[in-house]
Structure 1
Amino acid sequence: MSRRQGRGSTRTGRPASVPAGPYEAPPLVREDVPGTLLVDFRGEDNRTRTYDFSTLPLPGWQPFLARSFALRTGYSGDARTLESSRHAWNAAQNWVRFLDTLASPPATPQDLTREHVDAYNDRKDATARTTYSLMLELRTQFADPHLKAELPPEAHDAFNRRLRKPEASSAGGYSSGELERLTAAARADTAQIARRLRGNEDLLRRFREAPDQLSEEDRSRGEMLAAMAADGVVPDFPGSMHVRLPRRIALASQLFLTWRDLAPLVILLMIVTERNGETIKELPVRHRLLENRAVELTLVKRRRGTKRWFETVTWEIGPKNRELHTPGGLYLLLLELTARSRAFCDASTAIAFWRNGHRKDVVGKDEHWAPFEENLGHGTTMKMSSWAAERTKPLLADPPPAKKGAKPPPPQPLRITFNQVKTSIDARRTRQMGGHLPSSAKSNTAQVLFANYLKADEPTREWAAEVVSEALVDAEQAAAEAHARAVERRGGGPKVMPSAATAQQLEEGGLPADTARKLADGRLDTAWTACEDHDHNPETGAPCGDSFLDCFHCGNCLVTRTHLPRLLSLLDSLGTLRHRMSEDDWWKRYGSAWVAIRRDILTKFSPAEVARERAKPLPDAMLDLVEAPWEHP
């Protein structure tokens, strides 16, 4: 091998260094001992694991499943984090164990039939979401071109069926008041945790520097803290576990985080960073400070599509007194609070703490743990709802609406889940962005943001309905003002004579005799109304050439009972157009005419008369008289 390295080591005529001798890639599946089938996984999150496929039933399936898994999780595959490799492994073993339960299982992949796949998809011992997830994973694993010849075509076709994704059972997010109370509680408890650990760290520092200057009580505590800081061992006590456990937790919590500290920390991190719980669990230790103003780190964001699971972010640090309000400041605080436990367990993720190890048979410094390096599912032990209910000042949900005459129900504790917290912060950001989903989407696409978070969120729906209502009121008010200005310019608006029908009645209503006769005979009719003097536009004095829609603002406009069916038909057509074009365009083009008909004309007729006309077949709206139908929706 050439010894030349670095920049300038290659140029025209000087080839790049290459390994000496032929190169052989390591096998996808290795066999250390005859009969074993091992697949080594090394993820892009720097986590490793070895999966043994020889432990699965149906030996004829083991080589195929090992190869499909290796291709799925290898360097060219899509499952490149430890958690995703676990999901692929669970799908493979769930599949082969199901086949093993059949009365006549397929001994090899070549024996697989459509009926076998259908039976797996239709089984009743799993939820619809679990079946959907496993079928999707198996379809992806078995679709690799290297495996195409190893499964019958009918089996491939059965896996490629249209999978119906079950509806997410989301409870929606929190109300604005609930989210504010949750944020305040998480921030208050996190501040208390920081004060506790920093206070004991300060005592430990003073003990090491000048123990003689401490009181006897502080010196005794300092000695105990120094012993725990040196080797990470939390002393045990005599007695039963019910007596020992609370004492050990209280002692350990003087210098280390414990399980009970995790809930407020993780919740506050989710709220401040606006990231989901899985991303917070996997926050890395590795980061870069940018002029002490921001911190740069790489996050893991699952389910973003092929090879898009990592994202580099820059978080503001802010002043020290605002560290609980800025994402960068809170991240650095987390690193500070977990530094000792991370050192003892050599963690690469930010979250590490002390846990009592009697259930896992671990003692000493091994009780320091980074749980999410092993499995994200360990987060269920955080018991976030229990934290909220057991605080000195419990977190309570908004009371449901009281039924009339009934006693108000007692307050209920606030139920806390990762999905509800994420939904709430996404809804809050969407409101701040004015409801524009593409701008609101941060760690998801706009489609995922709506379908998985905002769609089921009742406060967001209420807010959106309120915003839409306010926008419609503003649009209608603007149209009414435009109509009023046009009426002022054009001679006072239409003359409506709802009870007049004959020429004599129209003449008695104030019209000249000649105009009354022509109006009664229909000789003055236009598209939807009648025009008293077409040759003299009130605004210009010249013959009128305006659109028939402008008639509704004109002083020459005449309306009688005979025009009512055409006006109702026009309103119906305008309502149909409103669903086929944007609100802005509709209000600009038709809004002022719609307001004039609704406010200045129909109000002059009785509701009973309008209802009678609506019960009859209405004439054509004749909108083609005012626009080309092929140019406008």
Structure 2
Amino acid sequence: MAQRFAWTPGRELAYTHEEFTAIRVAARRTFRTALLRIRENSDHLAAWRAGRIEAGGTAWLLGEALDVLARTGDVPVYDKPRTVRRRYRAALAGGSARCTWGRLYLSRKETAALAVLIIAELGLNVTTLSEMPVPETLPGTTEAGMPVYRLRLEKRRRAGHRGRFESRNVTDSGADSSGRIITDALEATAHARALLEQLDTDVDRLLIWRQTTPHDGHGYRRAVRVGPFGLGVDEMAGGDWARSVGLRGSPLRRMRKTVNVLHRREPGQNTQDTHDSIYVVGEPQAQQQAVPVIADGALEAVDAARRTVFTARLIPDTEAGDRQTVTAACAGWEHSPFSPAGQGCAASFLLCTACPNARVTPAHHPRLAHLLNALDHLRGVVEPGIWEADWADAHARLADLRGRLGEPVWQEALEAVTDTDRTIIEQLLQGDFDL
């Protein structure tokens, strides 16, 4: 604690689409090979236990060896040196991990590949995934052919007991759903979990793998071992798997960042502030993706301003050639921004306050002030959706005009409203002037 050090910003960047896809394909290839191997041997073991294999042959000896493997964690072997017993050598077809304990259990590298696939789907923290208990299946969902799994997640670095724990439901609705990888993980670890329950009933983990040697993977400081099994996954395992398929470095952390920042685009066991400031802001790909979003937002803001800001010109008196409208004077009726050129303006008189061709003199102030009051009263009697669609922009432009003129001028205008102004505004709001 006495040693002083300075925090440095991380330079860990998200994977590109091509890199993400390549890593996911490699992980799927590794895990899929293991899953098919375990599935084939599980079917053989089930057939042997059900008595469907004729006794005495090679297939029967393989079933017997698999039964021993499922009950003890290893096939029948001699202790010193560790070699497969002569009786089962032909049936097992070799003494390698794939031919012996690998028939029913995942290796450390295969579990790392499984972790990559889960992170690619769910964006989980490596430690959270490593310590995640076996997911619960919601009642009735498996029978319906669409199992829903409840994942129990813990974020150790989050303060407070309540904030550390959360649950997330994922559904296996098909091969492309996020829940399918959980279904496959449960199938691949079924035999390991069954034996682990006999060895230590207090241990509950989804990711379980068979140790190659008694010290397999012990370099990680949080390594957990029960009997012949290792629990969870770590960056070392991720790095070992990556190198075995020709990749550089463990992809676990960068996969999580890629998923949460570029794919899910929402926090994964982080607050929104942490997600934005730590993960999103410094990510070049997120910055590039934000460019069109920011541009669209700016254009939308400009459009909103044009719709809600008073655009007509304020002048002291009507100029020669101006035409009088219901709400203002018009200096360009033939060149309306709301109608095709040369056809004359066909827009509502409410849009005069949004037209650069419109001219507003002090003589128009009373009528416009009365129109704003009328819209205020109308707001309380129409549906909110209708108000926003038909009247809100006109109200905003008149409110902007009131701010420009000032309250004293506006009050004088209200006091100068005539019966003719009231009649014309009533006809305007009733649509009598619409074409």
Q: Spell out, residue by residue over 1:484-517, the C-alpha distance to the aligned partner (whole angstroms, 9 max, x if none).
A: xx99xx9xxxxxxxxxxxxxxxxxxxxxxxxxxx
Residues in 2 aligned to 1:324 and 1:236: alpha-carbon distance in whole angstroms? 43
Asked if the contact 2:155/2:164 (under 8 Å) is kept, the reply is yes
**Aligned residue number for residue 380 of structure 1:** 235
Residue among 256, 260, 263 paired with 1:426: 260
Structure 2 residue 356 is the aligned partner of structure 1 residue 553:
yes
Shift of residue 179 of structure 1? 2.6
Structure 2 residue 68 is the aligned partner of structure 1 residue 227:
yes
Other structure's SS at 2:270 match: coil
Other structure's SS at 2:153 match: strand
With structure 2 as the length reference, what TM-score do the two structures score?
A: 0.59
Structure 2 residue 131 is the aligned partner of structure 1 residue 290:
no
Shift of residue 298 of structure 1? 2.9
The Cα RMSD (Å) is 4.6
Residues in 1 aligned to 2:355 and 2:174: alpha-carbon distance in whole angstroms? 65
Residues in 2 aligned to 1:551 and 1:231: alpha-carbon distance in whole angstroms? 82
- What residue identity is the alignment partner of 1:193? A
Asked if the contact 1:252/1:258 (under 8 Å) is kept, the reply is no
- What residue identity is the alignment partner of 1:454? V
Shift of residue 414 of structure 1? 5.5
Structure 2 residue 300 is the aligned partner of structure 1 residue 300:
no
The change in CA–CA distance for 1:231 and 1:390 in structure 2 (over 3 A counts) is closer
Residues in 2 aligned to 1:240 and 1:209: alpha-carbon distance in whole angstroms? 30
Residues in 1 aligned to 2:226 and 2:403: alpha-carbon distance in whole angstroms? 84
Structure 2 residue 366 is the aligned partner of structure 1 residue 540:
no
More relative contact order in 1 or in 2 (CA 8 Å, sep 6+)?
2
Asked if the contact 2:154/2:165 (under 8 Å) is kept, the reply is yes
Q: Spell out, residue by residue over 1:269-303, the C-alpha distance to the aligned partner (whole angstroms, 9 max, x if none).
A: 22223321111111113735332242335321222
Residue among 457, 476, 487 paired with 2:283: 457
**Aligned residue number for residue 257 of structure 1:** 106
- What residue identity is the alignment partner of 2:270? N
Residues in 1 aligned to 2:319 and 2:354: alpha-carbon distance in whole angstroms? 10
- What residue identity is the alignment partner of 1:458? P
The change in CA–CA distance for 1:246 and 1:230 in structure 2 (over 3 A counts) is closer
Structure 2 residue 228 is the aligned partner of structure 1 residue 368:
yes
**Aligned residue number for residue 298 of structure 2:** 472
**Aligned residue number for residue 165 of structure 2:** 311
- What residue identity is the alignment partner of 1:280? L
Residue among 211, 224, 235 paired with 1:355: 211
**Aligned residue number for residue 33 of structure 2:** 192
Asked if the contact 1:284/1:350 (under 8 Å) is kept, the reply is yes
The change in CA–CA distance for 1:381 and 1:430 in structure 2 (over 3 A counts) is closer
With structure 1 as the length reference, what TM-score do the two structures score?
A: 0.43
How many residues of Structure 1 are paired with residues of Structure 2 in the alignment?
324
Residues in 2 aligned to 1:419 and 1:627: alpha-carbon distance in whole angstroms? 59
Other structure's SS at 2:196 match: helix
* Superposition pairs of residues 449-598 of structure 1, within 5 angstroms: 449-473=275-299, 533-534=318-319, 537-538=322-323, 540=325, 553-554=356-357
Other structure's SS at 2:261 match: helix
Other structure's SS at 1:201 match: helix
Residues in 2 aligned to 1:251 and 1:264: alpha-carbon distance in whole angstroms? 21
Q: Spell out, residue by residue over 1:354-374, the C-alpha distance to the aligned partner (whole angstroms, 9 max, x if none).
A: 1033438x9xx96422445xx
Asked if the contact 2:323/2:330 (under 8 Å) is kept, the reply is no
- Amino-acid identity (%): 16
Residues in 2 aligned to 1:341 and 1:188: alpha-carbon distance in whole angstroms? 27
- What residue identity is the alignment partner of 2:64? E
Asked if the contact 2:35/2:184 (under 8 Å) is kept, the reply is no
**Aligned residue number for residue 377 of structure 2:** none
Other structure's SS at 1:308 match: helix
